[in-house]
Amino acid sequence: MHLSGLEPFTLTPESNFMNVGERTNVTGSKKFLRLIKEGNFEEALSIAREQVEGGAQVIDVNMDEGMLDSEQAMTTFLNLIASEPDICRVPIMIDSSKWTVIEAGLKCVQGKAIVNSISLKEGEEKFIEQALKIKQYGAAVIVMAFDEVGQADTLERRKEICKRAYDVLVNKVEFPAQDIIFDPNIFPVATGMEEHRLNALDFFNATKWIKENLPYAKVSGGVSNVSFSFRGNDHVREAIHGAFLYHAIKHGMDMGIVNPSQLQVYDDIDKTLLELVEDVLLNRRDDATERLVEHAESLKGITKEKTEKDEAWRKGTVEERLSHALVKGIVEYIDEDTEEARLKLGRPLHVIEGPLMDGMNVVGDLFGSGKMFLPQVVKSARVMKKAVAYLEPHLLKEKEDNAKAGIVGNGRTNAGKILMATVKGDVHDIGKNIVGVVLACNNYEIIDLGVMVSCDKILEEAKKHNVDIIGLSGLITPSLDEMVHVAKEMERLNFKTPLLIGGATTSKVHTAVKIAQNYSGPVVHVNDASKSVPVASSLISEELRGAFMAEVNKDYERVREQNKNAQSQNKFLSLAEARENKFPIDWSKQEIVKPSFTGNKVFTNYDLNEIAEYIDWTPFFHSWEMKGSYPKILSDATRGAEATKLFNDAQAMLKKIISEKWLEARAVIGIYPANTINEDDIAVYENEKQIATLHTIRQQSKKPAGQYNVALSDFVKPKSLAPEALEGSNDFIGAFALTTGIGIDAHVARFEADHDDYSAIMLKALADRLAEAFAELMHKKVRKEYWGYAKDENLKNEDLIKEEYAGIRPAPGYPAQPDHTEKLTLWKLLDVEKNTGIILTDSLAMVPTAAVSGFYIGSKDSHYFGTGKINQEQVADYAKRKNMSVAEAEKWLGPILSY
């Protein structure tokens, strides 16, 4: 199933359960209802934002309340969401029992939404009419198990209604089967009523039947309904939700409306409570309800106990101790336990193949099932590496003594060899390193070539090591073209090795459209670390590869077709029309503030203590694949304990970074007189002489009435309105480049030499956070002091994170200006390399990687936006303005081309 907000979201059979946030629902959140009733939509938006930051992949919006104008409320709220990129990046579920409200929502929402819901309760004619309209709007649909007789409350009724609705939708409406989502009704359990004993079990079995008999259909439900009988006893409700989801997902449930704060990890549920809950859910005992209710009474008001350090595990066998150390990431005793195991088992290889791999298999299983989080996995890998490093001399000696011992590679058998590299021109490797650690934890031998690796080097090493898979990573957009080049070379040289594609700028669409069609071997896009293991195992297995790639290729063909259809439906204005519809600013009412200086200002050895105060911690957790917003993630029911451990580790390392001066912060900023010229260019001056031209790109897609085709140049005063002396009535623009990565390499090398990937990744992640914090701090000083257009600003750090300040700092290579080559102009203006030590690669990535650069725009009307797709007319015009060939422009603008 393909859904989208501003960003695409694809649900596949291999995907984890899709979490639909439930708090933007007036029937599910008293706070949200109050805000909507008060007309306080702006604050209500913060709830939607929290849902997305908290890990909701879709947000459910419901305005069904007797005292509300539901249609108006839905329209207003969805229109506001559409102007918030951090919210509308996820798909929307339009939730209402009133068709008029659903249709009002469909008229507002962008991307591909989900309608929740329609049913057969008013008969087939009405059902078909509504389904046709949903199909016309391009949305997916939830179908309730409800017909003219009533709501399905038995297994047979659920099967009967779902089958009938499916046949009508597929055969009469020709609705895409993959966009049909059934809700087979989750009813409360343990109510004391005999007829409710099968409520959960019937849902599980109905889900299994739907997945087996209604091809491509999905299953959803409102999970909190199941625990309705235990309102007020959150401890029991959380356990019921966790256990219910565990069994529902096993039976095929794809998504659900869930409050993550009322959800317990299945393995963490108290075993006594779990048995009682499962007795009810699975209808295993006649007295199940009575026993659970009795036990629940004793748990009212219970709080989660803090886990205290327990050394009891040290009393187990050496095999048990090694397994425990791996799962828990404990390194303190690893040398002595590994030596004890070597003496006991006789050979170092037996230690690796025995207790160490047994422990890592447990880690892999827990991570793959969502019961263990990435920071824990990386800590486990650290333990494994230290144990193997301890055994290395013994392995080498044994190898010399007996060349036929069957030892492979570094002294251990493995599931396969995987070569990984960040492609030429790109220097970002945190994501690649994390994937490498996860794969290594699952017994794959990883050959990591590092960053900025040429195509020739990648293919040469792949042949040399006879690898089973090649993995390419990249963060910046030029990396996409380099990956295409590698694929073409693999095809030319008759490679058959599977190719994995990953990294922040990569996508399934780009992989399917641009990469897979240039290489006849297997090509698979992997969007996060948890997916890498099943993909790798399927590709390496002779038995699994054929069926796996047949499914992938079928999916990619569908993606290519959808992309082709989407491109053909794009409607573009001519460039002249787009410019005519530029963002309107009444410059006669704009206050142009003269800065305290013009030219450049350099900062070295900037105080890291001051910078650290501006850190936004939410992206730090995201870099470890722990979705959620700080500080709420620290108390999250599922991830809170591990998030707190990770945060404490980060604080300890940050303290060392600052006190021991591991890193140096450097920056250069510049402020210059400037005016817009030629509609889309910005002229930069020094001493009334033009010294540079900044080129901007304009939104070109056709906009609804009242919306504008924006370019960054719209926010700088036109030269035609400032004919007087430049220092008089003209505008200004700023520029900056900064880094907190000076000195990082030596410390990363130190950690890697000690087999400590956890600390190496932690240091890189903290350096990145410090760089972003430094950018926030410098922008504040520019606004309040150096330029001074917002001298009276008084914002807290959380306000800065929400970008509630005046003005913007757009960066080349990002949505408002997707062209990385504008960095070249920025580098000349600021003399960046000389003043900061930051260099640019051939692909214009910054080194050190903990670096940020961009421009300062001071207009109070300025705002962030995405350019979206542009057509050949604008590309040709842009190339002419930049004095480059159209082919060169197309290379740098590849991701936004509409053709």
Give the per-residue pLDDT at 411: 43
Lowest mean pLDDT among 358-367, 673-682, 688-697: 358-367
Q: How far apart are CA 680 and CA 677, in angstroms?
A: 7
Does the structure show a pLDDT above 50 at 233? yes
- The band of 369, judged by pLDDT with boundaries at 50, 70 and 90, is low
Counting every residue written for the chain, the total comes to 899
Does the structure show a pLDDT above 50 at 305? no
What secondary structure does DSSP assign to 90-134, as a single string? S-EEEE-S-HHHHHHHHHH--SB-EEEEE-STT-HHHHHHHHHHH
Lowest mean pLDDT among 3-12, 148-157, 217-226, 515-524: 3-12
The pLDDT tens digits for 119-137 are: 999 999 999 999 999 999 9
CB of 10 closer than 8 Å to CB of 42: no
Token couple for 248: 């529902």
Does residue 213 come out as left (phi exceeding 0), alpha (psi in the -120 to 50 range) or beta?
A: alpha
pTM above 0.75, yes or no: no
Give the per-residue pLDDT at 725: 44
Task: Tell me the percentage of the chain whose pLDDT exceeds 70.
Answer: 92
The pLDDT tens digits for 183-199 are: 999 999 988 778 889 99
- The band of 503, judged by pLDDT with boundaries at 50, 70 and 90, is confident
- Identify the helix (H) or strand (E) that includes residue 685: strand 681-686
Does the structure show a pLDDT above 70 at 300? no
Residue from 295, 279, 276 nearest 201 by CA: 279
Give the per-residue pLDDT at 88: 87
Q: How far apart are CA 683 and CA 661, in angstroms?
A: 40
- Identify the helix (H) or strand (E) that includes residue 157: helix 155-167
Give the per-residue pLDDT at 532: 82
CB atoms near residue 781 (< 10 Å): 15
Give the per-residue pLDDT at 803: 79
Count of alpha carbons within 13 angstroms of residue 298, beta-carbon side: 6
CB of 158 closer than 8 Å to CB of 202: yes
- Identify the helix (H) or strand (E) that includes residue 672: strand 664-677
For 607-630, what is the mean pLDDT? 90
Give the per-residue pLDDT at 413: 53
Give the per-residue pLDDT at 311: 67
Residue from 808, 810, 806 nearest 792 by CA: 806
For 56-71, what is the mean pLDDT? 87
Give the per-residue pLDDT at 258: 72
Catalytic, 479? Answer yes
For 629-658, what is the mean pLDDT? 89
Q: Which of 235, 428, 755, 820 is catalytic?
A: 428
Give the per-residue pLDDT at 43: 85
For 565-570, what is the mean pLDDT? 70
Q: What is the largest CA-CA distance in the chain?
A: 90
Give the per-residue pLDDT at 733: 96
Identify each DSSP E strand in 201-246 by its residue range.
Answer: 218-219
The pLDDT tens digits for 313-343 are: 888 899 889 988 888 888 889 999 999 999 9
Residue with token string 């150096």: 786
Give the per-residue pLDDT at 723: 59
**Sign, Cα dihedral of 868, 874, 879, 885:** positive
Give the per-residue pLDDT at 559: 87
Q: How far apart are CA 619 and CA 610, in angstroms?
A: 19
Task: Identify the burial level of 339 via C-beta atoms within 10 angstroms of its C-beta, where 0-12 means exposed, 13-18 middle and 19 or more buried.
Answer: middle
Residue from 616, 21, 44 nearest 261 by CA: 21
**Sign, Cα dihedral of 648, 649, 655, 657:** negative
Lowest mean pLDDT among 426-440, 448-462, 576-590: 426-440
Phi, psi dihedral angles at 571 (to 5 degrees): -115, 125
Q: Which of 95, 183, 279, 426 is catalytic?
A: 426
Q: How far apart are CA 866 and CA 703, in angstroms?
A: 13
Does the structure show a pLDDT above 80 at 291? yes
The pLDDT tens digits for 808-867 are: 999 999 889 999 999 999 999 999 999 999 999 888 989 999 999 999 999 999 999 889
Give the per-residue pLDDT at 729: 54
Does residue 92 come out as left (phi exceeding 0), alpha (psi in the -120 to 50 range) or beta?
A: beta
CB under 8 Å to 861, separation ≥6 — which residues? Answer: 583, 585, 590, 715
Token couple for 824: 């070249």
Identify the residue with better confidence: 309 or 46.
Answer: 46
For 618-647, what is the mean pLDDT? 86
Q: Which of 119, 227, 479, 507 is catalytic?
A: 479
Count of alpha carbons within 13 angstroms of residue 14, beta-carbon side: 16
Give the per-residue pLDDT at 402: 56
Give the per-residue pLDDT at 505: 77
Identify the residue with better confidence: 401 or 36.
Answer: 36
Does residue 782 come out as left (phi exceeding 0), alpha (psi in the -120 to 50 range) or beta?
A: alpha
CB atoms near residue 732 (< 10 Å): 24
Give the per-residue pLDDT at 301: 54
Q: How far apart are CA 343 and CA 335, in angstroms?
A: 12
Q: How far apart are CA 566 and CA 407, in angstroms?
A: 53
Residue from 852, 838, 842 nearest 425 by CA: 842
Does the structure show a pLDDT above 50 at 303? no
Q: How far is CA 434 from the centre of its chain?
A: 14
For residue 123, the 8-state DSSP code is -
- At position 329, the amino acid (one-letter code) is G
> Which of the listed ranges 214-223, 441-450, 560-569 does the model predict with the highest average pLDDT?
214-223
Catalytic, 224? Answer no
The pLDDT tens digits for 571-586 are: 889 999 999 999 999 9
For 68-74, what is the mean pLDDT? 89
The pLDDT tens digits for 246-255 are: 899 899 999 8
The pLDDT tens digits for 743-791 are: 999 999 999 888 888 899 899 999 999 999 999 999 999 999 999 999 9
CB under 8 Å to 735, separation ≥6 — which residues? Answer: 669, 670, 671, 672, 826, 829, 830, 853, 854, 855, 856
Q: How far apart are CA 877 and CA 895, in angstroms?
A: 18
